[in-house]
Amino acid sequence: MNHFRMEILVKPRPGILDPQGKAIHHALRSLGWSDTQDVRVGKAIYIDLEAEDSDTALETAQAMCRKILANPVTEDFEVSIVENAERITA
């Protein structure tokens, strides 16, 4: 088994209301960054897992997204493997 650190980016789908993004957009413009056109707020999730190979690791992370990490109605996700990953320790 090989160790992989997965990076999962979950973001609102285009056209879906994003109240956090709107609030940040308004704050940035009021602080002088008037060139800011739009802000969307998502989340980044990092998962360490063991898998036979990178394809299996990607498939596993995508299955996690489809089942629990992303709402398929309102969110899109991207999954990638972080190169030179160190293990997360608590």
Token readout for 81 is: 């493997």
Residues 75 and 41: beta-carbon distance below 8 Å: no
Handedness of CA 2, 56, 44, 47 (dihedral sign): negative
Residues 6+ positions from 49 with CB-CB distance below 8 Å: 3, 4, 6, 57, 60, 61
**Within-domain flag for 56:** yes
* Stretch 51-74: mean pLDDT: 97
Q: What's the whole-model pTM score? A: 0.82
% of the chain at pLDDT higher than 70: 92
Q: What is the pLDDT of residue 83?
A: 79
Number of domains in the chain: 1
The CATH number that applies at residue 22 is 3.30.1280.10
**Within-domain flag for 89:** no
* Stretch 4-28: mean pLDDT: 96
Give the residue numbers spanning the domain of 23.
Answer: 2-82
Q: What is the pLDDT of residue 86?
A: 57
- pLDDT tops 80 at residue 87: no
